[in-house]
Amino acid sequence: MSSVVPLLNEDPEPADDADPAIIVNGPPPGVRRFAIYCDESGTGGSSYYGFGSLWMSWQRRGEFAKLWRTIQGGSRYGPSEMKWKRVRASNLDLYRAVVDLFFEHHWLAFHCLVVPKAWVDLDLHKDSLDVAHRKHMTQFLANKVAHCVRTHRGQATEFRVYADHPFAGSGYGKAHEAAEVIGNNLVGRVLGELRPIDRVLVCDSKERPGIQLCDVLLGAVMDAWNRGATQDAKPELRRHIASQLGWDDLDSDTMPGERKFNVWYMCDPREPRSVETRPIALARPLPPVRRYNGAHRRGDAT
């Protein structure tokens, strides 16, 4: 049975691969768990708002934490919370390093949703943008979870979600609980009685490097879509991310099946598209897809 926990004292981020936290809080025997770190951007009034998710296998959390600390430890800025809004010329090398960390490790994946604010019909969302944001985030999460379950069919799979915003910042105090229940219901409509989201946990992004990396990647995408910064370091970091995709910029969506870096544009299918969907040519290609028992096998990738 799933459980919603708003604080994470009992589920600490592991210090390394051998940390007991991975075992004590681990999935049941025979169940594969993914850790999903979520964030939002642009919900304060931009033309586009978006929701991002960083994915990794549960067992990779310690390795990721160790890599993160190594990068921060080699910087003169030391350990501090990393966010898109903090990108400066003075710390650009540090932010390039965490972007490279993401692309160098095939077991990390980033998927995001971009929503044009002008397209949102508030009559469908109780005349509230906050409700619309929560609905879109939950729909996005449920869609990605259902796709991952289908990809790994034949193997029991569950998901633990770590969220900063919009759940922590929502005016609705039980937004994270609603996201878990509704998300599982949406997945159930597609996959039957499965309830693969075992927890949605609200946490402090300062303690979660996965949320911080999600913030940086999502911030870059949304900054491009909203025609944001044009000077200093942020455009340079956007170009650095785009170059890893074989792109010149980030103001596009991807093909639906992209595994490593996926941008889903939620638009009105009745209206002409305002952006061109582009294929990705990763500078560091992912391992080839293997098959077993009629299903895809993709190692750690989603």
Q: b/e string for 124-140 if b means 16 or more Cβ within 10 A?
A: ebeeeebbbbbbbbbbb
Domain housing 284: 29-297
Burial of 15 (0-12, 13-18, 19+ CB in 10 A): middle
Residue of 50, 22, 35, 30 lying closest to 225 (CA atoms): 50
pLDDT at 151 over 80: yes
Q: Is the pLDDT of residue 43 over 90?
A: no
16 is a domain residue: no
Please report, for the domain that includes residue 85, its CATH number.
3.30.420.10
Question: Do residues 211 and 205 lie in contact, with contact meaning Cβ atoms separated by under 8 Å?
Answer: yes
Average pLDDT, the chain: 81
- What backbone torsions phi and psi does residue 71 show, to the nearest 5 degrees? -65, -45
Residue 13 lies in a domain: no
Q: What is the largest CA-CA distance in the chain?
A: 52
Within-domain flag for 21: no
CA 6, CA 58: separation in Å to the nearest integer?
20
Contacts of 186 (CB under 8 A, 6+ apart): 138, 139, 142, 143, 146
Whether residue 3 lies inside any domain: the answer is: no
* Phi, psi values for residue 57, rounded to 5°: -65, 145
In whole angstroms, give the CA distance from residue 44 to residue 226. 12
Asked if residue 162 belongs to a domain, the reply is yes
Distance CA 257, CA 111 (A): 11
Q: What angle do CA 237, 110, 99 make, to 5 degrees?
A: 30
Mean pLDDT of 294-298: 49
Rounded-to-integer distance, Cα 252 and Cα 208, Å: 28
Q: How far, in Å, CA of 15 to CA of 62, rounded?
A: 6
pLDDT at 56: 97
| Mean pLDDT to the nearest integer, 199-209 | 86
**Is residue 279 in a domain?**
yes
pLDDT in tens, 220-250: 999 999 998 888 899 999 999 999 999 999 9
Structure token digits, residue 53 = 């998710």
Is the residue at 53 inside a domain?
Answer: yes
Highest mean pLDDT among 14-18, 100-104, 199-203: 100-104
pLDDT above 90: percentage of residues in the chain? 45
Instruction: Give the pLDDT score at 172.
Output: 47
Domain count, the chain: 1
- Domain contains 216: yes
The pair of three-digit structure tokens given for residue 152, joined into one six-digit string: 């790994």
> How far, CA to CA in Å, does 116 sit from each of 11, 216, 239, 262, 286?
35, 20, 23, 17, 31
